[in-house]
């Protein structure tokens, strides 16, 4: 008897292929499940762990078999329990849910994880669910530190008394602190989008631009002083400290600039410089400043073959005035004497006080002896005007020695020595007169 078994053979082959495919799928699933870098676990409908891969141990510190039969909720911190149960209920409704949970691992540490829970449905029946865990503790901490850093930056910028700016590679302001309103009177948003140099004094822009470009190219910090105007149009002295910021590829990102108002400091420095060069009683140039100007003028006349003269003088019998009327009157006489000298000279002449009752005058561009003599006579005439203070009348005269330098000039020392000798001759001649000596 012969029987056709072609269909049986075909069915058997198909069954064997199906079994092979199922075995292959099973092996793929096992490989995917057990060797996945993410932690994967299976739960029954009540939330009991039925299976887990080895990666779960990295997240929970529990060996996979230690979790079998354990309710997963026991790992979830109290405050996140409701979120966890929402995930389970969502999976029971046939939907995949995502959430962020905090777990307590085996050693008692809190671990922040992202969780994806997917329903396990076969032939329309829900058998359980499986979840994927990923440890995001470091990421969350980084986010937290970033948020804290941003909050600290916000607090600092909103309460800073300095101007804080961020500048991009084109020199445009991309951020300004609210302190711009307090210090310059401009709303900080008015500055954003403008060039950093847009409100800086024209005489300072090229210098600042050079400093900023050098800082960006070298990566070095910079400090620069400049003037910028406020909302009233007044120039405000400022000092900026800039730090270039680069990304991990060493590409320039932006420049952080802290600027403070140094107007008071500048005024103080100017006063210090003024008092370093001027007599505090009369406000006239002091000995140091006068000698600097004399040296400069000597160098000029050496080049252009002009002449200059120096007058040296003191107040006749000043000691007697001081002893008779006191130091207050003596100071007033010195102050008034300086004022009258300034009234007697040309606009470009310099009057200085050497100390005590000694004064000196620098006369540049003196064509002849007559020019110096005319100024000396003008000084004597000015001193003849009435001297009156607190109802008292005084008589003040002066002796003047004049040194006339030759064309091309002479040394500073020689000119002063000559003027001193001429002053001595004027005193010997009976005071209240002048003597001229040529070098």
CA distances from 169 to 166, 244, 256, 391, 428 (A): 10, 10, 11, 72, 75
Domains 160-266 and 278-438 equal at CATH topology level: no
Q: How many CA atoms lie within 13 A of 1 on its CB side?
A: 2
Helices H, strands E: what count in the chain?
A: 14, 17
- What per-residue string of b and e applies to 18-37 under the rule 16 or more CB within 10 Å gives b? eeeeeeeeeeeeeeebeeee
Where does 160-266 sit in CATH, by number?
Answer: 3.30.450.20
Bridge partners, 257 (sequence order)? 165, 242
- pLDDT recorded at residue 284: 95
DSSP state of 93: T
Dihedrals φ, ψ of 280, to 5°?
-65, -25
Alpha carbon distance 375, 434 (integer Å): 10
Q: Report which secondary-structure segment, H or E, holds 116.
A: strand 110-122
Q: Report which secondary-structure segment, H or E, holds 72.
A: none
pLDDT averaged per 10 residues, the chain (length 439): 70 59 50 63 88 84 88 90 90 87 90 87 82 80 66 56 83 85 82 87 90 88 90 88 88 88 83 87 94 90 80 94 90 95 94 94 91 94 92 91 85 93 94 93
CA distances from 11 to 15, 178, 286 (A): 6, 81, 121
Counting residues of the chain whose pLDDT is more than 90, the rounded percentage is 33
Give domain limits for the chain. 36-139, 160-266, 278-438
User: 31-90 pLDDT, tens per residue?
Assistant: 445 556 688 888 898 889 888 888 888 888 888 888 888 898 889 999 999 998 998 888
Alpha carbon distance 304, 201 (integer Å): 36
Question: Would you say the pTM of this structure is higher than 0.75?
Answer: no
Q: How many CA atoms lie within 13 A of 46 on its CB side?
A: 4
The answer as to CATH 3.30.470.10 being correct for domain 36-139 is no
- pLDDT recorded at residue 385: 92
Tell me the pairing of strands 39-43 and 49-52.
antiparallel
- pLDDT recorded at residue 270: 80
CATH superfamily of 278-438: Reverse transcriptase/Diguanylate cyclase domain (3.30.70.270)
Alpha carbon distance 382, 315 (integer Å): 13
């Amino acid at each position: 008897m012969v029987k056709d078994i072609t269909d049986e053979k075909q069915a058997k082959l198909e069954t064997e292929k199906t079994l092979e495919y199922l075995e292959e799928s099973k092996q793929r699933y096992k490989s995917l499940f057990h060797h996945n870098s993410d932690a994967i676990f299976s739960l029954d409908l009540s939330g009991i762990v039925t299976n887990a891969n080895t990666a779960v141990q990295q997240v929970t510190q529990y060996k996979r078999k230690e979790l079998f039969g354990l309710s997963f909720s026991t790992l979830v911190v109290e405050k996140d329990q409701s979120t966890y149960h929402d995930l389970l209920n969502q999976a029971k409704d046939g939907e995949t849910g995502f959430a962020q949970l905090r777990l307590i691992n085996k050693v008692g540490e809190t671990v922040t994880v992202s969780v994806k829970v997917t329903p396990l449905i076969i032939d329309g029946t829900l058998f359980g669910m499986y979840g994927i865990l990923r440890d995001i503790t470091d990421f969350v901490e980084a986010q937290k530190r970033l948020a804290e850093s941003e909050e600290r930056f916000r607090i600092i910028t909103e309460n800073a008394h300095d101007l804080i700016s961020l500048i991009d590679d084109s020199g445009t302001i991309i951020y300004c602190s609210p302190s711009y309103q307090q210090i310059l009177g401009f709303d900080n948003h008015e500055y954003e989008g403008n060039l950093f140099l847009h409100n800086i004094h024209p005489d300072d822009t090229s210098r600042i631009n050079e400093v900023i470009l050098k800082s960006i190219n070298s990566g070095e910090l910079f400090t620069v002083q400049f003037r910028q105007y406020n909302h009233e149009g007044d120039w405000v002295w400022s000092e900026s400290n800039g730090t270039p910021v680069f990304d991990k590829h060493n590409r320039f990102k932006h420049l952080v600039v802290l600027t403070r108002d140094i107007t008071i400091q500048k005024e103080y420095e100017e006063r210090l410089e003024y008092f370093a060069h001027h007599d505090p009683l009369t406000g006239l140039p002091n000995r140091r400043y006068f000698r600097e100007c004399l040296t400069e003028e000597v160098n000029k006349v050496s080049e252009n073959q002009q002449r200059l003269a120096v007058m040296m003088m003191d107040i006749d019998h000043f000691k007697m005035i001081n002893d008779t009327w006191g130091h207050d009157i003596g100071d007033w006489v010195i102050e008034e004497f300086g004022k009258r000298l300034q009234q007697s000279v040309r606009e470009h002449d310099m009057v200085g006080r050497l100390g005590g009752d000694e004064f000196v005058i620098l006369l540049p561009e003196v064509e002849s002896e007559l020019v110096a003599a005319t100024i000396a006579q003008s000084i004597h005439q000015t001193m003849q005007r009435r001297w009156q203070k607190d109802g008292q009348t005084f008589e003040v005269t002066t002796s003047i020695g004049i040194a006339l330098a030759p064309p091309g000039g002479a040394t500073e020392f020689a000119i002063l020595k000559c003027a001193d000798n001429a002053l001595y001759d004027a005193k010997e001649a009976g005071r209240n007169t002048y003597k001229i000596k040529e070098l």
